[in-house]
Structures are given as structure tokens and as C-alpha cells.
Structure 1
Amino acid sequence: MIISRRADVERFLGAPPANIRAAVIHGRDRGGVRERADGLAKKIVERPDDPFDVALLTESDIDSDAARLGDELTAQSMLGGRRLVRVKLTGEKASVDRALSEAMKVHLEGGYNPDAFFLVEAGALGRDSALRKVGEKGEACAVIPCYEDEVGDVARLVRESLAKDKVGLNGEALELFVGRLPHERGVARQEIERLALYLGPGSGAIATPDDLKPYLGVEPESSLADAAQDAFGGKLQAAYQGLRRAAAEGEGGPAAVRAIGLHLARLRRTLSLTRNGAGLAEAAKASGVFWKNEREFLRQARAWSLDHLDLLQPEVLEADRLCKQTGSPDTLIAERLALSIAGRARRLGL
């Protein structure tokens, strides 16, 4: 069965029903996947890192030993009680997906140790994934998709996390800080923890935008976001300079390509919302566009179309893949991508 509504997901993770013996947590937000999987593991077994209670497998373990997964799901806990078999996937290998789906089907039918809990965490699983299909059909399996947090979700995460340290941000400072944060849950939490330390845990401080200036400064992420915006706005020279500035500040090609991908995703979401009837400015705000960038973003949204973005998406994905290869000239790859996008933007009249 699929559990996707936030309230239902939180309810399940807080108290997983006894009749559920498996879960598949997947999505592009790998930090969110890991966070939810860690929380669920703590509910299943008292010591999630204890090898006597927990078997931790990767796709290479499954691919190299066909019987390993079945053996782990059949085994009993060495100390009695429930056993956890946890699989962490980093790729999309068809043979591994097939092996997991077959094991999941047997486990849901009671073919292995009924006290074992089968937990799989993965990237975004497509509709053709055999594992996803088996999990979604199984009444004893929870399939939880993890999407990147919306702006409102990120803002709530910031407020709640800072409140635990008895510090906070006023409205403008919150908007400023959220605009700088990546929507990937794990990275966002690290940045929030850094901010709490800067404000002074327990101090009761409520920071303003001016208070944040020494903390935020001109960070590499800001340079990359500016470069991405300039590229989609057809500003070749400014995009190139922004990438060079970010590289000098310590951010290489992979981060630059990621910033470009995030800007593309914001444009795509904005245009999708407008297609469904939302106003352009309203859609941009819902997509997380910072108010200071709104005018330029709206200018771009009027020129780019979903068809244009669909044609560009494979190029961004390929650049991301190439940047992650050992020894790749990642900075040059990112610059080439940005300049290509800027050229397309100019042809669109930007």
C-alpha cells in the first residue's frame, strides 16, 4: 500500500502497525529517505546498529550472492525479538530490482521469518520498478515516496528546529534563510544546526536579516544560484563569472550543475502550476522563488516553456553524470552547460 500524505506518513513512522512487515521508502530526496528510514528502524528494533538484530545489505551484496537476501530474511534474531533486514540502494540495476521484488513477494506471503521486518530505501523508483509494484499491492508493505520539501515544509522545519534551541528568525529573515537552503532534507538540517549555533542555543534570540548578514555573507551556494539564474536569463558573461566566483569559493562542478537543476525544477513547477490555473506570480512564490529574484524569474517563466525545459533536462542529467566521474573536468562541464543554457535563453528572446 502507498502512504504519501504527510500526516499518514508521520503517523505510520511514529507507530508502525504490527501487521506491517515491510516498507519501501524511495525518492529523489535522499536525505528525506534516509531520515525516514532511520526513524522507522528505531521503531522496529531497539538497537538499529546491532549486527545481532540487524542485517544491512547493499545492491552489490544482493547482486553478488543470490541467496544472501533470502537467508537474512529467514534468519532469527540472535537475542530474540524482532529482526530487521535493511537494504540501501544507490543505483537502479534491473537484476537487483527483480531480486528484491521476488524476495518481497515471498516475505509478504509469509515465506520467510514472519518476525523479520524488510526495509528498503532507494532513490526515485519508476512505475516500471518490480519492487515498487509488489510493495504497492501488498497489504503488509508500506511504500512511502519522498519528494523534495516544498518551501512551506522547509520553513516549518527551520522554525521547529530552531525553537528546540530557543532561538528563531523573524519573517523576513526566515524568508531569506529558506531561500538559501537546499530542499534536500539532510543538507538542510545541517545548515539549520549551524545557524542555531551561530545564534546561540538557549539565548532566545530572534534574528533579523541584518543579523544574518555576517553569517550568510556571499556563500558559494549564493554565487551558484545567481549563476544558474543568469544562465536561464541569457546572461552569458554574468553566468560565467558566477561559476568562476563559486569555484574560487570552493564549490566545483557537481554543485553548479545541481544549482542549475534546481532552477530548472523551479521553472518547471511554476509552469506546471500555471497550466493548472494558478497565476504566474502565485506559482513562482509556491515554487520557492525568493522575492528579490521574483521579477527576473517571472521574466524567464514567460519565455521558457515546459517543452523547452523537457528538451534541456537530459542535458542537465548528463552533465551531472559526467561531473561525478573520477578525474572529470567538472568545472568545465558545468561552465559548458551554463553557456549552452544561456545561448538557448537568448534564442528565446531573453
Structure 2
Amino acid sequence: MTALKGDAVGRFLKRPDKPVALVYGPDTGLVGERARAIIDGFLGPDADPMARAVIEGDGLPGAPERLAEEAHSVPMFGGRRAIRVPAGSKNILPAVQPLLSDPPREAIVVIEGGDLKPSSPLRKAIEKSDQAVAIPCYVDDARAVETLITEEMTAAGLQVSPDARAALLRLLGGDRLASRGELRKLATYCHGGERVEIEDVGAVVGDASALELDVLIDSTALGDAGQADLVLRRCLAAGTAPGSIVSALSRHFMQLSEARLKIDRGATADAAMRELRPPVFFKRQNGFRRQLGLWSPEALGRALELIAATEASVRLEPDLADAMTSRALITLAGAARGPRQGR
């Protein structure tokens, strides 16, 4: 079976119907969250804690038969079992292959993989098997982060001001589990109130790496390649995923494109920025206004094509992600300095 996407993922998490599931991707928080959801959906809310087992993937190459033995073993008091396998860095396909040809009847095996390439033997075997599913977990885009914000704040009985929402979209998104944790911390902080304001976000969800990301994006869009390269190195050294950087870049240039079109239809820069959703964070409005003077709609269209191609390449070739991200930033900064960008 090919990789599950969209609504099919949600349906499988609630009612897993395959005995083997591979959950993989660069968003390790989302990988873990979905793996736990699959196990909970399979076992049910009142499952015996003994029905859950963990086998470390790096230990399987020395004893590949262990996984199948565990999956086919019958619990003393009957019932279903779930086995979680953090894949690690070693090849565990020899341990998984027997489960694809002789799947367990009353057990599910959930493998937590890293950022696996399409050429990965494990990923290829899972995607080809009708006894297994593969669930990719990519870094959340703006729409997914906004949905998460709405979901968590609604559950807490809180509304979110436009400025607070814009700040949250800027700060969150690299890791689903971390984002959810920050939102729940914010909800606890605002408990007893009715509305989350930007001051609440600043008090609870402050993130220096997100501020660096703002500087990186603005430097790129303003044509300062040297500054962009310097800040990119700092972001990567701090552990910011290239996919997160490119996703943030995409969101920013989409907003630039939307605002630029409004200006070309007669709106002022300030009016165009006010109409954006989410709105431009107030501390970045001056820089955003300058960027609108540098980029024409045509140039922004080309920029978005480059960013989309880079985003796809980063997912397909994670080993080259740093270099591809750097090249995209330098190209975009050069375009911003071009002599005819719609001034």
C-alpha cells in the first residue's frame, strides 16, 4: 500500500486495520504522536499496560527473529498487543519482512522511522505490502499550525487575537509535539480569561530561534545575502530543520505575493498588510513594507516556484538539505537586488 495522506491518516489513527505501520519523517514530534495514536486506537482506552511492548530497532539486526516472535506470541490472558519499534540507525528490514509475509492476527507493530528517503529499503517494502501502511510526517505548514492553534485554544475555551495568532504562527511549526506542548502551556497561563493576547504569547512561547528565523527571512527578501547566509548557519547550528526554514520562507513569500497583488489593484501598502491573514507581526511591518517595494508579482511568482522546488528537494534528499536551502536563499536574495523588481 502506498503512503497514507490527508483524511486517510486520521481514519487509520482511529481504527488501524493493518498489522504493520511505518510512521516516518523529519517531524519527530509528529512521528511519536501518531505512533501513540495508532497504538491507542488499536488497543482501546482500557487496555492492559502489559499489552504494550517496545523493541529498540538497533537491537534487531543481531536477532531479527525476535520481532516476529514477539508479534505472534499469545498473551497469557488473551487480547490484543501492540509493539512499538523506534527504528534507530540500523537496517531492520530483515526483522520486518517476515511480518509482511506472515502478519500477526491480534497484534500491531508500529515502527517509528526517521526522515527516510523514497529509496529506503524499509520504506519501499512497507509501501509495496498490502499488509502495511506508511504514514509520512512532514513539518507542519501554516494551515496545519493554524488548525492546531484553533483546536487547542477552542478546547481550552479561549479565543485568540489576530496579533497573537500571527505570533504563534511565526513561533510554532517545526515539531508537532513541541507545538502542542507550547499551546497547552499557553492555555494554562491564560486559564480563567477569555482571549489570548500577544503579550501572553510573548510571556509564554518566546523562542529565540524563531526570532532568528525572522531575521533570516527578512534578510533574504531584502536582498542581504551575506546576512542571510550568516543567520542560516546559526539556525542550522541551533538545530532548526531545513524543512522548517523553507516552509517559513514559503509562508512569507505567499504573503508578499498576496499583498503585492492588492497594491497593484490600488491598495496602499499599509491597507494591504492589514488585510492579510494572519496579519504581519507588528515588529516586522517596516521590513515587510520595504520588501513590497522590491518585488513585482512576476518576480514573486518565480520566487514561489523556486521555494516549492526546494521544499520538494529537501524532502527527497535530506542529506543535501542544508546546501539546497542555502542555495535557494542566495538565489532569492540576488533576485531582490535585481534592477527591475517592480519599484
**Residue in 1 aligned with 2:214?**
226
Number of matched pairs: 307
**Residue in 1 aligned with 2:97?**
102
For 1:136 and 1:262, locate their aligned partners in 2 and report how far apart those are by CA, in whole Å.
Answer: 26
Which amino acid counterpart does residue 262 of structure 1 have in structure 2?
S
Contact 1:270–1:301 (CA under 8 A) maintained in structure 2: no
Task: Kindly report which structure 2 residues correspond to 1:182-201, keeping only aligned pairs within 5 A, or say none.
Answer: 182-200=173-191
For 1:306 and 1:43, locate their aligned partners in 2 and report how far apart those are by CA, in whole Å.
Answer: 40
Give the drift of 1:185: 0.7
Which amino acid counterpart does residue 12 of structure 1 have in structure 2?
F
User: Does 2:148 align with 1:157?
Assistant: yes
**Residue in 1 aligned with 2:54?**
56
State the secondary structure of the residue aligned to 2:118: coil
Greater displacement, 41-50 / 128-137: 41-50
Which amino acid counterpart does residue 106 of structure 1 have in structure 2?
S
Give the drift of 1:41: 0.9
Give the drift of 1:197: 1.8
Give the drift of 1:254: 2.5
**Residue in 2 aligned with 1:79?**
77
**Residue in 2 aligned with 1:264?**
246
Task: Kindly report which structure 2 residues correspond to 1:1-350, keeping only aligned pairs within 5 A, or say none.
Answer: 1-2=1-2, 4-17=4-17, 20-45=18-43, 50=49, 52-91=50-89, 93=90, 95-96=91-92, 98-108=93-103, 113-200=104-191, 203-209=192-198, 212-215=201-204, 219-230=207-218, 232-233=220-221, 234-235=223-224, 253-255=237-239, 257-258=240-241, 261-267=243-249, 280-281=257-258, 291-292=280-281, 296=291, 299=295, 306=306, 309=310, 350=337
Contact 1:227–1:241 (CA under 8 A) maintained in structure 2: no
Give the drift of 1:169: 0.5
Give the drift of 1:199: 1.0
Contact 2:212–2:231 (CA under 8 A) maintained in structure 1: yes
Q: Where in structure 2 are there 5+ consecutive unaligned residues?
A: 262-272, 338-343
Which amino acid counterpart does residue 63 of structure 1 have in structure 2?
P
Q: CA RMSD in A?
A: 4.4
Contact 1:31–1:185 (CA under 8 A) maintained in structure 2: yes
Contact 1:82–1:116 (CA under 8 A) maintained in structure 2: yes
Contact 1:57–1:87 (CA under 8 A) maintained in structure 2: yes
For 2:237 and 2:63, locate their aligned partners in 1 and report how far apart those are by CA, in whole Å.
Answer: 36
1:275-333 deviation digits (Å, cap 9, x = unpaired) = xxx99438999xx98635655498495786739959x9699957979xxxxxxxxxxxx
**Residue in 1 aligned with 2:264?**
none
Give the drift of 1:344: 6.3
Q: Percent identity?
A: 23
Give the drift of 1:215: 4.4
Q: Where in structure 1 are there 5+ consecutive unaligned residues?
A: 322-336
Change over 3 Å in CA distance of 1:105–1:306 after alignment to 2: same
Contact 2:43–2:81 (CA under 8 A) maintained in structure 1: yes
Contact 2:27–2:139 (CA under 8 A) maintained in structure 1: yes
Q: Which TM-score applies when normalising by structure 1?
A: 0.69
Q: Which TM-score applies when normalising by structure 2?
A: 0.70
